[in-house]
Chain A
Amino acid sequence: MPDTPSKESVRTVTASTFNSLVLEGKGPIVVEFMSYGCSHCRTIAPLLEQVAKMVESKEQIFMVNVAVDQELAEQYEIQGTPTFIMFLNGQGIGMVEGLQPDLSSVLAAVTQPFE
């Protein structure tokens, strides 16, 4: 599946682009492990788009579709969706799962680990 166009604030990252975009990426990067069939991911999607626009000058936010990239999900021990993993200069520094579907929780989840 091709990566989503860059006009979207939350871009899709696949197994083939994960290394170059996330592990070799500079600065704070948030990766959401999600699935289109997950109702919680659906609830969070517009909030995450909003948050991504708010933090776009400081952080990059990507999503990994676990239904497509199951190996990545297994590698990062993803137990369910949505799960967020925060990377700083390619190093994993935190994870959040079971996020409450409100703007402040999503914003806190993607910014607090980098403070």
Chain B
Amino acid sequence: MQTENHTKPILLFDDECGVCRHIAYGVRKLAKNKSGQSSICDRPIGNDPEMLRKLNPNLDIWNAYATIHVVMPDGSMKLGGEAVAEVLRSLSETRWFTWIFALSIFGFRPFQAMLNLAYAILADVHPIFGCESCGSPVAWVRPIRWMIDSAGAVFGLRRKSSAIPHFTVLSTKARATFPVSQSKASRLV
């Protein structure tokens, strides 16, 4: 398979997730220099596994949606906190402090570890910001969502919730007649 050549790092983001879209927009804005050129590109992950494999043959579309990926011009990939550090390294406003992520004490990089942890927490909590495509939050975040929902109920605000667990509800669209008769339809859950 022929791989796509690129000269700048590419930040892949989930364009169905509002939080990810906002972050990508922020990066895009900050990445532009005075002459309008960008130090890093951003690209929606999209729906075509083959297109992603052209960027890097090891790039799996499911993994791309699960964790932030930055595809480097040399063909390597940075994931999670390492990808965040790479983005910060690419931006002129944040580049000055990114040396701390490379700081190593007996082979351990404390600031990179802190960034990895911060990314892991953000990845876990971002479904509570109303991301439809992110699904149910992980177990430790559910009490926080419950508290937000309860507070919302007190103040008369209601969050749109999916009726069925483990199910990502699509946006409302015009509905056509379902060809399977309801009497024959067997709902197992």
- Taking beta carbons and an 8 Å cutoff, which residues of A are in contact with B? 1-2, 4, 35-43, 45, 65-68, 70, 73-82, 85, 92-101, 105, 108-109, 112-113
Inter-chain residue pair count (beta carbon < 8 A) = 122
CB distance from B61 to the nearest CB of A (A): 5
* Contact assessment for B45 and A36 in the assembled complex, using a CB-CB cutoff below 8 Å: yes
- Main secondary structure, interface of B, reads loop
Interchain CA distance A75-B47 in the complex, whole Å? 20
CB distance from B79 to the nearest CB of A (A): 15
* Contact assessment for A95 and B47 in the assembled complex, using a CB-CB cutoff below 8 Å: no
Q: Which of B165, B167, B179 contacts A92 (CB 8 A)?
A: B179
Chain A residues closer than 8 Å to B174, beta-carbon distance: 74
CB distance from A12 to the nearest CB of B (A): 9
Chain A residues closer than 8 Å to B177, beta-carbon distance: 77
* Contact assessment for B188 and A108 in the assembled complex, using a CB-CB cutoff below 8 Å: yes
Q: Which residue of B lies closest to A76 (CB)?
A: B178
Q: Which residue of B lies closest to A96 (CB)?
A: B188
Q: Which of B47, B180, B185 contacts A35 (CB 8 A)?
A: B47
* Contact assessment for A39 and B185 in the assembled complex, using a CB-CB cutoff below 8 Å: no
B contact residues, total (Cβ < 8 Å): 39
15 contacts between A and B (CB under 8 A): A1-B50, A35-B47, A36-B45, A36-B65, A39-B134, A39-B135, A40-B167, A45-B62, A77-B177, A82-B167, A93-B186, A95-B180, A97-B187, A109-B188, A113-B186
A interface footprint on B29-65 (CB within 8 Å = 1, 0 otherwise): 0000000000000000101111000000000011001
A-B CB proximity, top 6 nearest:
A98-B164, A39-B135, A92-B180, A98-B167, A94-B186, A37-B16
* Contact assessment for A78 and B170 in the assembled complex, using a CB-CB cutoff below 8 Å: yes
* Contact assessment for B47 and A67 in the assembled complex, using a CB-CB cutoff below 8 Å: yes
* Contact assessment for A93 and B184 in the assembled complex, using a CB-CB cutoff below 8 Å: yes
* Contact A97 B47, CB 8 Å, known A39-B135, A42-B66, A77-B175: no
